[in-house]
Chains A and B, each alone.
Chain A
Amino acid sequence: MRIQILLWVALAFLMTSSSAPASSADRLAVLTTIPDLADIAREIGGDRVDVKSLAKGTENLHRLAVRPSHLIAMSRAELFLEMGLSLEHAFVPGLLEAARNSKIWPGEPGFVNVSVGFDPIDVPDVVDRGQSADVHPEGNPHFNLSPAAGRHMAQVVLDALIRVDEAGEEVYRANHAAYLERLTEAEARWAKIGERLAGKRVVVYHSEFDYLTRAYGVESVGTVEPQPGVSPTPAHLARLITSIEELEVGALLTARWSNDKHVRFVAGRTGVEVLELPTMVGGSKRATSWIALMDELHARVGAALAPESEPAR
């Protein structure tokens, strides 16, 4: 009986404890799944927004560990931005259900699927686990690494901010215009590097870099994982090694999470250059913003596949 009384006292205490106030009252609480969206939301939202990201930028998004602060941030958000295309299917649906924040429930103005309006690649003709373990029915979800994504993400963020905070429209539009100016300059830098990349060949671990490589005509001739979400078999690695040796592959593109023993094995057998690249803002020291992330990706891939001394094809 004593234990029951103690339990009830504890319950009563917790039920009556006042929760901390939501984020600063004057600023719009914006929550994003990846730091890339957070960066752009800060650029456009300026001082009117308080932006947080669930991912830090170093993770494999398919295996993001949900943290207690994520749940609370989700419950307090007034605007939630996800990339979509099932990129965050491992953690967003569960967080949304647990957080029970009606402002950002799918269908409400505070919920934004950023992929809407973006033309994805690799949309499967048939949704079948026999094709892959990690099936994304709507297409390749890693479009944050597309050079064209900046403009799209900025436009979606702008529209979303105005929808939930009409009073800030003037500020948001001004910040958006300023951001586009910097983005235009960056796109010119990237296009210049991209001109040298057409026809080069790479292999990748996962299909994260496909938007980037295809934008410049870089051919991806193989993947370390046979299909997304499936570990490589010895036979598959043997075929990949043969491909690398026969096709003059310039680099193996991998991420921090995927630079594993299989990558080392393939590199050791073939001598192919391994590029461990950031896949999100925060994924490296230099990738402090989305433009900086893309600057780093273009610079490193360009240096590996087509050094400036080498003429463009």
Chain B
Amino acid sequence: MSSSTLRAVRPFRLSASPSLLIGCAASSALLAPAALAQGPAFTSPGAPPRSTLGQTTRFSTEFNPAMGVVIDTIADWRDTPMDDGFDIQARLVEFNVAAFLDPNAWGYVVFTSEDLGSPEIEEAAIQLMGLGDRTTMKVGSFFIDFGKQMQQHIEELRTVERPLVLREYLGEELGGTGAQIDHWLPLGDATPVRVSFGVFGSLVGEVEDDDGGPVAAVPEFKDVDEVSFTARVTSLHETSESGTLQLGASARVIPDFTFTDDASGLTSEGLSNGVYGLDLTYGWTSETGEQGLTTGVEWLFVDGDLGAAVDDAGTPLDASDDFLGLNNDSGMGFYGFVDYGFSSTDNVGVQYSEVDLLSDTDITASEVEVYWTHYFTELRRMRLGASRFDVEGGDEESRIYLQFTAYFGSHSHGVNW
């Protein structure tokens, strides 16, 4: 029996493929005024007008975006139920560009390649800032605003992987194509509060279909109340001259999706689920800023249709009575961490995560990781760590790793606080 859950086993990839984006751009060009900066070199009657305010010549580069590259390499030794041994991989190569479009908008695009594979677009978004003070809007494809970590790219994390509970309930990375509005307001002199609300075409992570099980997807056309959405509210509080406490609550809701098993043709429609989170983070910084302590916990609760599996109804080889069994349940999990920066160049930390598995919420898995991170400079980082993953009454996995990350040029994402 093959089964599937809504989690993204592999790092999420945008559903908006480059060809789709190009298609959207092409259709926009037909419907909207021409992008003036990209007009023809010589304008004939009826041709799109040539810009007089864009780039000065077709081949000038003054207004090209800032560019940056990140290389994230890992050498590790793993002991898994299947095998054990060493591996070295260029886990991620990221190329990003960012620029202002005009004084009220800036945009960025992030391309990534895993294991030196074909590059894919991970984020492509425009941040609109002309909506009034303290209000911004982001449109395009981007990582969702959930908790403290889901906006961050994997190479920017404190640990080598995202915490287990986030990977299980939201995916290694979770982006969506849509729009998100942010507003923040001050409460007193030292407590800013930020709220965000985003709507997306889909927030289903891409599932690695190794077992050929049912695959989750949202309908292409949907009613307004069926669009997926995220919401977050967070506040910062100064607890002392050098201490800051952040509280947050997040939600990611998919009100309508389907599970489809291609092998049997079985489909289950009208499904929904939601993930809700609470986070608390405390940071302390020494008077010089050279030492710092950060500790926090994030608790997640998932509820709804979490997974599906084809049930052969007890008659092997007879598909006529098979049906798609749904796992409508709830589960929870958390992660907590302590990170101490004992100098401007060195951090040590420990992180523990525990989660009820989506495939069977009665089974708990846990992961603990310890690490030391050394910054040669702010642009070059080495991390030595070890982790252990345990499934209750099941598999165990140990890992020792050395991670090396290098940043070239500018590095900019639309990450909120």
B406 to chain A, nearest CB (A): 11
CA distance A80 to B191 in the complex (A): 20
Q: Is A231 an interface residue (CB 8 A)?
A: yes
CA distance A68 to B188 in the complex (A): 11
Q: Is the CB of A7 within 8 A of B190?
A: no
Q: A14-B233, A19-B185, A68-B191 are in contact. Are A100 and B379 (CB under 8 A)?
A: no
Extra contacts besides A11-B233, A102-B133, A230-B377 (4): CB < 8 Å: A17-B187, A20-B186, A60-B288, A68-B192
A interface bracket (residues with beta carbon within 8 Å of B) = 35 or more
CB contact list, B161-219 vs A, under 8 A: 183-193, 195, 197
Q: Is the CB of A133 within 8 A of B379?
A: yes
The residues of A that contact B251 with a CB separation of less than 8 Å are: 3-4, 7
30 A-B pairs whose Cβ atoms sit less than 8 Å apart in the complex: A3-B274, A3-B276, A7-B231, A7-B233, A7-B251, A10-B233, A11-B197, A14-B193, A20-B189, A56-B287, A58-B287, A59-B287, A63-B344, A67-B238, A68-B191, A68-B192, A68-B244, A69-B189, A69-B190, A71-B417, A72-B186, A73-B189, A75-B186, A98-B184, A100-B133, A100-B136, A133-B379, A229-B377, A230-B377, A257-B289
Instruction: Please name the 8 residue pairs, one residue from A and one from B, whose CB atoms are nearest each other, closest first.
Output: A133-B377, A257-B288, A68-B236, A65-B285, A69-B190, A63-B289, A72-B186, A58-B287
B34 to chain A, nearest CB (A): 29
Q: Which positions in B face A, CB cutoff 8 Å?
A: 129, 133-136, 183-193, 195, 197, 231, 233, 236-238, 242, 244, 249, 251, 253, 274, 276, 283, 285, 287-290, 292, 301, 303, 343-345, 376-379, 417
Q: Is the CB of A231 within 8 A of B345?
A: yes
How many inter-chain residue pairs (CB < 8 Å) link A and B?
Answer: 114
Look across to chain A and name the residue whose beta carbon is closest to the beta carbon of B188: A20
Which of B133, B183, B185, B233 has most A Cβ within 10 Å?
A: B185
CA distance A56 to B240 in the complex (A): 14
A172 to chain B, nearest CB (A): 26
CA distance A65 to B377 in the complex (A): 18
CA distance A97 to B377 in the complex (A): 25
B410 to chain A, nearest CB (A): 11
The residues of B that contact A3 with a CB separation of less than 8 Å are: 251, 274, 276, 301, 303
The residues of B that contact A20 with a CB separation of less than 8 Å are: 186-189
CA distance A260 to B242 in the complex (A): 21
Look across to chain B and name the residue whose beta carbon is closest to the beta carbon of A231: B345
Q: Is the CB of B288 within 8 A of A100?
A: no
Q: Is A182 an interface residue (CB 8 A)?
A: no
A79 to chain B, nearest CB (A): 16
